[in-house]
Chains A and B, each alone.
Chain A
C-alpha cells in the first residue's frame, strides 16, 4: 500500500518513446491498481464529486463496487449516467470537476476518479459488457444532428426512454470531435471511441453518416417529410478563427481543425493514407487550449520542433493540466506571455517565421483572467516553417441560415431555454458547442443529457 495521501501512480509510455509514435500516452490502471486507488475513496455521505460531474455519475457508488472487485457492478452504475466512460475517463478535465471537489484533495491528492472511470469502461469493453437494453419503444421519433458527445449522449438517453432516435452525421464517420479532433495518442479511435459509439447504437440508436442537415435535408423537412417530432441540434462549434494579422494566408499556415482533421479523421500520419499532411521542421502553435496542445503534440510526433505561443502565463492556460504536463514532458517548448504580430513569408509564399511581441498581465477581464498587455518594443522572431492557429471557432451559420425562427445570440450561439433546452423554434432543441461555443466533451454531454430530459417532457406534454 502506497502513501494514502497520494494517487496510485498511473503507468505511461516513456516521454522519449511516445514523442515518436501515435500510441496512447497513458496506459491506465490494471485491476490491482484500480482496487488500491478505490480504497482511497472515503464514500462521503454528501459527495461533492457528483455535484462536480456534468452528467451526475454516482461516483462513490461506482467506486464502492471497484473496491470489492465488482467491476461489472461499477459499470452498471456509470452506465445509468454515461455511455462513454472510456472516453470521459480520458478527456474530462477532472481537476476542474469531480476531482476538484474531492475531499481527499484538501490535504492530499484527490481520488483518481477519471482513471477509475477509464478502468471500468475499458474493463467492460474487454469483457463485452454493454449497457442493458430492455426498453419498449414508445412510438415517437426524434432526430439528432451531429454524432459528437452532445448528440451521442442525447440520443442514448432518449433511446433508453423508448424513443426511436436517428443521428445525422455530416462526416463519413460518427463521433464528431472524438474522431476528427482529439488525437489517437490521447483517445484511441478503434479501441475506445468506436466501441463506445457501438454501445450507443446497441441502445437502439440509428446513425446515418454523410447527411449534412441544412443542405442534404432541412430541419423543416425532417419534421414535415420524415415525421420526426423533435430535433436536437448538437452540430458542434464551427468555423476556425484566425488572428487577422499580416501573413496569415501564407502557405504553411493551418487552422488546428484542418491539421487535426487531416491527421485524425483522415489518418494522414499513416503511410497508407491518401490524405497528405505537411511535415515541417519547426512548428509554432498559437493558443493555449486543449486543441493547441493536441496540435502541438501531433506536430512533434510528425517530427517537428514545436513551440506553443500563448499570450497569457502558464496559470491561465485553458488546457487540461495533464495535457500541459504531458506536452512539456515530450519536449514542447512554451513561449508564454507573447503574441504573434505578423507571420513572416519567404519569396515563394511560404511561412518562414513569426514575429511576436512580449506581453505582461494587467487587470482581470470579464472572464476573470488577467488580460495581457503588450510590452512596447519587445518584438522578437521565432523561426518556423509551419504555423497552426488554435484560437477557437465561431459558429457555423449553415443551420441557422436554413432554418426559419431559430435565433442566435451576439456570438452566433443558438439561444436556448435554460431549463427545457429548446431553441426559439418549437420542437427544436440544442446543446453543446453549437450553443456555448467551443467547450469540452463532458459539458457537451451534460448539455445532451439535459436536452434529452427537455425533449421527453416536451413530447409527453404534447400527448
Chain B
C-alpha cells in the first residue's frame, strides 16, 4: 500500500496528491509516468509524475476526474492508501540524455495545456537545476483552470499564461500564443508540447510552419504499461510504437494524431458506464436512450 501524504484540489475536479513511493522516487526522471490502482476493483491508470523528492521517497501526481477509477482516487484523503503504485515507467525525456552544454545553447519552449502542466513542470525544474533556461506557455480554458503557475514561475525564465476565454493572461488557444510570441520576435529551437491530444496535434501543425522541432508526450489507453499488451500502440513515422516502452515522448511531427485520437475513444462508452455506475450506483438500466446503460 502507498500512503497519500497530502491532497489538494487546485481547480475543479483536478487534484494533486503527494504519495509515498520510495522505489519510484529513487530513479524517476522528467518525462516518466506511473501506473496506479486505487483498490482491488480499480483499473490500472497511467498518470504523469509532476514532482519527486528522492530523499523523502515521495511522488507528486496530478489528475483530473475522467472515469470511475479517478473518481474513486479523488475521494481518498491524506492518510489513506493507494493499493498499487508502480513506476517510473516509460523513457525519461530526451534532454536527460543530452549534453548540458548543448541544451544551454538552445531556446526551449514548453507548451502545457490543462493538466499537461503536470508533466511539463518537472522538465522545466530539471532544466533550471542544470542551468538551462526555458519558457512556458500555460494554457487553460479559463482563469480557474490555470494550475502550477507559481511553481512554474519559480523555474522558468518566462511564463506566458493564456486562457481560451481571455479571463486571465493572454486570450486564445496555445497555438495562437505560439504565433503571437513568434510575431513578437521570439525564436525557439525546440518545443515540448504536452496536453490533450487535440492540443498537441494543433501545436505540431503550428510549430511545423516555423520549422521548430516538437516533442509531444502521448497518453493513450494503457493496461499493463510494461510493454506486454500493446494497447498503447500508435503510429509514428509509419511504424508501430508502444507509448509505454518506446515513449511516452515522440517527435510530434511524425505522430499520427488522428488515429491516436480515434484509438483513445475506443473505450469511451465503457469508461463512461463504469463512471456512472460509480457515481450513481446501479440505476442505469437503459431506456433513457442517452446513457447506454442497457448495454
Q: B-contacting residues of A (Cβ < 8 Å)?
A: 170-172, 180, 209-212, 215-218, 221, 236, 238-240, 242, 249, 251-252, 254-255, 257-258, 261-262, 265-266, 272-276, 278-279, 349, 396-398
Contact = CB atoms under 8 A, between A and B. Distances in A.
Contacts of A215: 27, 32, 87-89
Given A216-B88, A238-B228, A266-B223, A172 B266 contact: no
A275 B88 CA distance: 22
A172 B84 contact: yes
Contact of A274 (B42, B84, B85, B227): B42
Interface in B227-271: 227-231, 233, 235, 240, 242, 245, 259, 262-263, 265-267, 270-271
A contact face: mostly helix, strand, loop, or mixed = loop
A331 B223 CA distance: 29
Interface in B69-128: 69, 83-89
B contact face: mostly helix, strand, loop, or mixed = mixed
Given A249-B263, A396-B226, A397-B245, 12 more contacts: A171-B224, A180-B224, A210-B84, A212-B226, A217-B23, A249-B259, A251-B263, A255-B231, A266-B43, A272-B41, A276-B270, A398-B245
11 contacts: A172-B84, A209-B84, A215-B89, A216-B27, A217-B27, A239-B230, A255-B231, A261-B228, A274-B69, A349-B259, A398-B245
Contacts, number: 119
A171 B88 contact: no
B231 A273 contact: no
A435 to B, nearest CB: 17
A276 B267 contact: yes
A397 B235 CA distance: 19
Nearest to B235: A249
A300 to B, nearest CB: 19
B24 interface: yes
B44 interface: yes
Contacts of A172: 37, 44, 83-84, 86
Contacts of B273: 276
Interface in B1-57: 23-24, 26-27, 32, 37, 41-44
Nearest to B24: A216
B68 interface: yes
B181 interface: no
Nearest to B71: A274
Nearest to A210: B86
A147 to B, nearest CB: 13
Contacts of B84: 172, 209-210
Of the listed residues A172, A180, A209, A397, the one surrounded by the most CB atoms of chain B closer than 10 A to its CB is: A172
B274 interface: yes
Given A215-B87, A239-B227, A398-B245, A275 B266 contact: no
A47 B26 CA distance: 53
Given A242-B240, A274-B67, A349-B262, A258 B230 contact: yes
A218 B26 CA distance: 11
A257 B228 contact: yes
B269 to A, nearest CB: 9
Contact of B230 (A255, A273, A397): A255
A170 B227 CA distance: 11
A277 to B, nearest CB: 8
Contacts of A210: 23, 84-86
A396 B245 contact: yes
Contacts of B89: 212, 215
B87 A216 contact: yes
A330 B117 CA distance: 51
A251 B262 contact: yes
B9 to A, nearest CB: 22
B41 A217 contact: no
Contact of B226 (A170, A278, A279): A170
A8 B281 CA distance: 49
A254 B223 CA distance: 12
Nearest to A225: B26
Contact of A262 (B67, B68, B223): B223
Contacts of B295: 279
A274 B272 CA distance: 10
B270 A278 contact: yes
Contacts of A171: 86, 224, 226
Interface in B57-72: 67-69
B86 A216 contact: yes
A218 B271 CA distance: 35
Nearest to A216: B23
Given A210-B86, A249-B233, A278 B224 contact: no
Contacts of A265: 224
User: Nearest 6 CB-CB pairs, A to B?
Assistant: A276-B270, A258-B229, A255-B230, A210-B86, A274-B43, A172-B84
Contact of B227 (A209, A262, A398): A398
Given A240-B230, A258-B231, A278 B88 contact: no
Contacts of B231: 254-255, 258
B213 to A, nearest CB: 24
A273 B231 CA distance: 18
Interface string B188-215: 0000000000000000000000000000
A409 B240 CA distance: 22
Nearest to B67: A274
Contacts of B228: 180, 236, 238-240, 257, 261, 396
A278 B267 contact: yes
Nearest to B274: A274
Contacts of B227: 238-239, 396, 398
A172 B84 CA distance: 6
Nearest to B259: A249
